[in-house]
Amino acid sequence: MGFSESIKFETGPPGSSIVVVELDELKLGKSSKEFEEYEKSLFKEIRETSNLDDLRSDPLIQSYRALHWAYGMDPTKKRGSSEAVLRRVLQGKNLWRISDLVDIVNLASAYHKIPIGLIDASKIDGQLTLRVARKGEVFPRIGGETIVCRGREIVLVDNIGIVCYGYAIHDSERTKVTRNSHRVLLLHYGSDSASKNKMEEAVKITTDMLKRWVNCNISEPMRYVSATTF
């Protein structure tokens, strides 16, 4: 068991990429009051610089929607994780309180509009591979719902099965981060509109928050780029 230090792309539109940061010796806790005040300041910035109507023309949001459509997934019914949290903030709602790590990931994703996934590295078996789902493949997502794939969806898998469905729409119940997780992979999912500089900026924003508020060791980012013909 364990991460093989690479991600294999069997599918993925040109320009798509995944940046992985490993969090080791993680000790999960609750978000601090200081973080909650910081979160409020970012909410204010997001709401002052964007609104729900802007999402229709935002190139980054639209690039993820186009990717989902290309794999037969309706992004108006199952939204990408970054758009889902951003829409919640723009609707004037707060984000959920889960743990210091997850709270930071949700805030960072809403702020830089790039989907982020979390995987308990101790629960991975073999290499991570981005591929097209097999027809009838079953995916138990976090929260209890089980999705039966139609054979068109984009998924990230290990030797056991799907660990992320729909390019960061849903993470897996099997590999979810819990209080017992001590080694975790943080994945930023990039589209053709997310340049290398944009991805580096997003990863830095996220890891700067982690350094400030989460008890863990943080690795250097590892970037994997699609070389497939889509």
Class for domain 7-225, per CATH? alpha beta
138-152 tens-digit pLDDT: 999 998 789 999 999
pTM summary value: 0.95
Does 1 have pLDDT greater than 50?
no
Per-residue pLDDT, averaged over 70-81, amounts to 95
10-51 tens-digit pLDDT: 999 888 999 999 999 999 999 999 999 999 999 999 999 999
C-alpha 90/C-alpha 101 separation (Å) is 22
C-alpha 168/C-alpha 72 separation (Å) is 15
Domain definitions of the chain by residue range: 7-225
Please give the structure tokens belonging to residue 182: 């001590």
